[in-house]
Structure 1
């Protein structure tokens, strides 16, 4: 869970506050409009890198789901089930995003492969500006919950082929959504040049 916490903090989904009433707090894109505007500009400026990170995820994470279905312990399966339950019960977009990240990172941790874990962490961090701008609630969230459930069921029953396919389908839809979002943002903000 410490790994997931660090990733969520890096993605700006949670922040640490010191002092008597300190702790970890969820942040949402709607908390301040300036921050939201900055995320939009960051997504546009980094669109090429985001596209490549999504491509990496589409190639790598299905293999991660396959390995997880083969290697998972009963304890790790329970952690994955909890991550999915938190996703399904999320009451706002910030908690949904946090639970989504925990689900993917938990799968990566199950592989016990530090290269895969690091790759998933870094690619998710790169994709974060686009992911946080995807639609809140509604059918987008429902589809994500259903797709995660399919991955979870396959991992639970140790069906490697099914786990790999379910994750591939999930990430292909996510990539399509991210590409549509980036194209839409580019049309609305043609003056922002990509970095690199």
Structure 2
């Protein structure tokens, strides 16, 4: 008969003891990563699939050139007038759950006016801003407009739909008649496809 105090037997007994103790422990609450892994995956949608060249051209009311096209951002710039440079950007954020999406939405919706204030305060200029809720667009949506200095205007449509947050941002020199309505229309068309 072999003695039970050999190194091999001690290792086997220690392993069995660890496994037995682990089995007796109460199960822990699932981690955020585990919850995210169990959430249904969102279909992959690149922002430039939602805001293509024709949509950007319609919003800017002129020819456009691409600036960025990646998994989270799509950015276009005006091409007709170098002196009236305007950009249109869509940032699409996929979140783990709707609660996180709501927090991201609140944060993104607040950035525009804060950025305008940061630019204007050192210049001694007043920040002009407009905000209005947009009904019937995603789960919640807001239109924001502000200035950054005397010449730069910014308009945003921020939308939350389920676990996604989309920010459509139009920034440029001066104001274009109807640009806010065109931006909202582009956001509506894009969000329908999310």
> TM-score category by the smaller chain?
under 0.3
- The TM-score normalised by the length of structure 2 is 0.24
- The TM-score normalised by the length of structure 1 is 0.24
Relative to its length, the structure with more helix (as a share) is 1
Relative to its length, the structure with more strand (as a share) is 2
Higher relative contact order (CA 8 A, sep 6+): 1
- The structure whose Rg is larger is 2
